[in-house]
Amino acid sequence: MKKTINIWAIGLLALGLASCGGKKDAEKAEIVLSPETTHIKGDLGDYFEVVDREYTVTNDWGDMVSVEVKRTDADYAFDITGVSPMGTHGQGVTANAGFGIEVLDENGNVIEKSAATAAGFGGMYSSDDMKEALSLKPGETATVRWSFHFNSDKKPAKFRLTSALQQNSTSSSSGSFDNDSSASDEDSDNSVSSAGTSGSEDWDSLLNSYEQYVDKYISYVKKAANGDMSALTEYPALMEKADEFSNKLSAAKGDMSSAQWARYMKITNKMATAAQQM
pLDDT per residue over 103-141, tens digit each? Answer: 999 999 999 999 998 765 567 888 889 999 999 999 999
Query: Could you tell me which of 148, 86, 90 has the C-alpha nearest to residue 116?
Result: 86
Count of alpha carbons within 13 angstroms of residue 10, beta-carbon side: 28
Q: What is the pLDDT of residue 24?
A: 43
For the beta carbon of residue 57, count every other beta carbon within 10 angstroms: 21
- 265 or 98, which is more confident: 98
Residue 57 has pLDDT above 80, yes or no: yes
Determine the distance from the C-alpha atom of residue 123 to the mean position of all C-alpha atoms in its chain, rounded to a whole number: 2
The rounded distance, in Å, linking the Cα atoms of 97 and 7 is: 17
Residues of 82-121 as b/e, b for ≥16 C-beta within 10 angstroms? ebbbbbbbeeebbbbbbbbbbbbeeeeeebbbbbbbbbbb
Contact 13, 278 (CB under 8 A): yes
Q: What is the pLDDT of residue 277?
A: 59
Q: What is the pLDDT of residue 246?
A: 75
**Alpha-carbon dihedral 121, 234, 189, 198, rounded to 10 degrees:** -90
The rounded distance, in Å, linking the Cα atoms of 278 and 269 is: 14
Average pLDDT, the chain: 76
Q: What is the pLDDT of residue 161?
A: 98
Contact 272, 7 (CB under 8 A): no
Query: Could you tell me which of 180, 186, 179, 174 has the C-alpha nearest to residue 161?
Result: 180
Residue 182 has pLDDT above 60, yes or no: no
Q: What is the pLDDT of residue 116?
A: 92
- 4 or 182, which is more confident: 4
Residue 158 has pLDDT above 90, yes or no: yes
On whether the pTM is more than 0.85, the answer is no
Average pLDDT over residues 156-168: 94
DSSP 54: -
By 3-state DSSP, what share of the chain in percent is helix, strand and coil, each rounded to 5?
35, 20, 40
Average pLDDT over residues 63-73: 95
Could you tell me the pLDDT band of residue 101, with boundaries at 50, 70 and 90? very high
